[in-house]
Copies of this chain bind each other. A is one copy, B any other.
Amino acid sequence: MGMVYMANTRDEVFRTLADPTRRAIFERLCREGERTVGVLTAGAGVSQPVVSKHLASLKRAGLVRGRHEGRQTHYSAEYAALAPLVDWAHEMTGFWEKKFDALEDLLNRMDQ
C-alpha cells in the first residue's frame, strides 16, 4: 500500500527536473515526441555535449529512454516517471484536506 516509489526515486526526479535547461529538454520531448540529440541540441541554447549530459541525467532518473538507430540516438519522454512527483504533491495537499475534515468534524461536534 502506497510507497510504490522509493524516496530515492522521488529525490532524483525532483533534483533532475530542478534544472531549467534539463526540464526544457524533457518538456520538448513531451510536446514533440521522439527526437534525436542533434535536433534537441538545435534550440537548446547549449552545446551538444551538454545536451547529451542532461539526457543521461534524465535517463538515470527514468524520465526518458533512448533508442539507437545507426549513428543517431532517438530519445523520448517517459511520462510515467512523473508519477512520484504528482503523488507527492497530492499527498501534501491531502494533509491540507484532512485538516479541513478535522475542522469540520470539530465544528460538527461543537454544534451538538
Q: Which residues of A contact B (CB under 8 A)?
A: 11, 14-15, 17-18, 20, 23, 26-27, 30-31, 33, 77, 79, 82, 85-86, 89-90, 92-93, 95-96, 99
Contact = CB atoms under 8 A, between A and B. Distances in A.
| SS class, residues of chain A in contact with chain B | helix
Copies in the complex: 2
Contacts of A30: 92, 95-96
A82 B77 contact: no
A16 to B, nearest CB: 9
A25 to B, nearest CB: 12
Contact of A92 (B20, B79, B96): B79
Nearest to A90: B86
